[in-house]
Amino acid sequence: MTRQLSYDDHCTEIIRQTDLLRTLINDAGGAEGVDLTTPVPSCPGWNVGQLVRHLGGAQRWTEEIVRNRAPEPPPDDQVRDLSAYADEDPAVVDPWLAEGAAQLADTLRAAGPDAQLWSPIAGSGGTARFFARRMAHETVIHRADATLAVGADFTVDEDVAIDAVDEWMELGSLPQMFDFYPGRRELLGPNRTLHFHATDTPPEAAAEWLVDLTGDAIAWRRAHEKATVAVRGPLTDLLLLVYRRRSPASARLEILGDASLLRFWLDRVSFG
């Protein structure tokens, strides 16, 4: 199987993915950088500048939680009300974004993976380890949002993409998700399995996922198995699909079997 990312890897990816986003907003569109007023279709109501402010605000919010070993969440207005950031300047947001990512990574490393603190999802592990992984992939996906919005090609390393899909599967199958999203119980039923198969990775990467909805809870495993519906395509496209950043109708994806089950599943399990 592919290399499993460590706590330190996640800290590194927070900075690395942020730097890739900074390169995008500084380089795309010419010498003056990307137009930050470009709408972001995958985040309706936001433009690229607001997306960047949301991500940077989330990194600072998380840094505060880890630094203070917070037993409860601090206010998160800075990541929700983005109305003040409708006309941002790359020269302003670039150093601000870099600073926030570095502060978060430094604070996570200083705390260590087992530092106890509040977590938004009970059962996901109330430690700094949860936030390191979550913010690494939050940064990956929002970099994808910005990249796709400006019409550039989004790529991500194989080990990072696989870890991001694993994390998404783990969080989406937590039993308490039924409490947050009661409609997800409608997914459960006989003959309801989904298989996702990355077509551009070597066999040893084991980049295949089986989602099993036939029991009393959502279950998943890395496996090559027959399913009610199978989705085949490049790893990055599978990542974007499960995060609903790529349409199942994309020509880059091949769907075999009951496509309506795939659409039903995507509609019910959206988050992030």
Query: Do 185 and 219 belong to one domain?
Result: yes
Task: Single out the residue in 120, 154, 188 at which a domain terminates.
Answer: 154
The domain containing residue 228 runs over which residues? 163-268
Query: Do 13 and 144 belong to one domain?
Result: yes
Instruction: State the 10-residue block means of pLDDT for the chain, 272 residues long.
Output: 88 98 81 85 96 97 97 87 94 96 98 94 79 98 97 96 97 84 90 98 97 96 97 98 96 97 91 56
Query: Do 16 and 70 belong to one domain?
Result: yes
Q: Is residue 93 part of a domain?
A: yes
Q: Is residue 32 part of a domain?
A: yes
> What's the distance, CA 130 to chain centroid?
13
Residue pair 98/61 in contact (Cβ under 8 Å)? The answer is: no
Query: Do 25 and 150 belong to one domain?
Result: yes
Strands 193-198 and 229-233: parallel
Query: Do 141 and 188 belong to one domain?
Result: no
Query: Do 146 and 244 belong to one domain?
Result: no
Q: Is residue 53 part of a domain?
A: yes
Q: Write down the pLDDT at residue 77.
A: 81
Query: Do 14 and 114 belong to one domain?
Result: yes
Q: Is residue 2 part of a domain?
A: no
The residues, ordered by sequence, that sit 6+ positions from 167 with a Cβ below 8 Å of its Cβ are 133, 134, 137
Q: Is residue 196 part of a domain?
A: yes
Three-state SS string over the chain comes to: CCCCCCHHHHHHHHHHHHHHHHHHHHHCCCCCCCCCCCECCCCCCCEHHHHHHHHHHHHHHHHHHHHHCCCCCCCCHHHHCCHHHCCCCHHHHHHHHHHHHHHHHHHHHHHCCCCECCCCCCCCCCEHHHHHHHHHHHHHHHHHHHHHHCCCCCCCCHHHHHHHHHHHHHHHCCCCHHHHCHHHHHHCCCCCEEEEEECCCCHHHCCEEEEECCCCCCEEECCCCCCCEEEEECHHHHHHHHCCCCCCCCCCCEEEECHHHHHHHHHHCCCC
Query: Do 19 and 120 belong to one domain?
Result: yes
Tokens of 210: 């089986």
Query: Do 127 and 217 belong to one domain?
Result: no
Q: Write down the pLDDT at residue 195.
A: 98
Q: Write down the pLDDT at residue 106.
A: 98
Q: Is residue 1 part of a domain?
A: no
Q: Which residues pair with 210 in a beta bridge?
A: 195, 221
Tokens of 102: 């570095």
Strands 193-198 and 219-221: unpaired
Task: Single out the residue in 121, 154, 187 at which a domain terminates.
Answer: 154
Q: Is residue 206 part of a domain?
A: yes
Q: Is residue 256 part of a domain?
A: yes
Helix axes 48-68, 90-111, angle to 10 degrees: 20
Query: Do 221 and 100 belong to one domain?
Result: no
Q: What CATH number is associated with residue 92?
A: 1.20.120.450
Count of structural domains within the chain: 2
Query: Do 26 and 112 belong to one domain?
Result: yes
Task: Single out the residue in 114, 132, 154 at which a domain terminates.
Answer: 154
Phi-psi region at 99: left, alpha or beta (left = phi > 0; alpha = psi -120 to 50): alpha
Report how far residue 232's alpha carbon sits from residue 143's, in angstroms, rounded to the nearest whole number.
Answer: 23
Query: Do 12 and 134 belong to one domain?
Result: yes
Q: What CATH number is associated with residue 245?
A: 3.30.1050.10
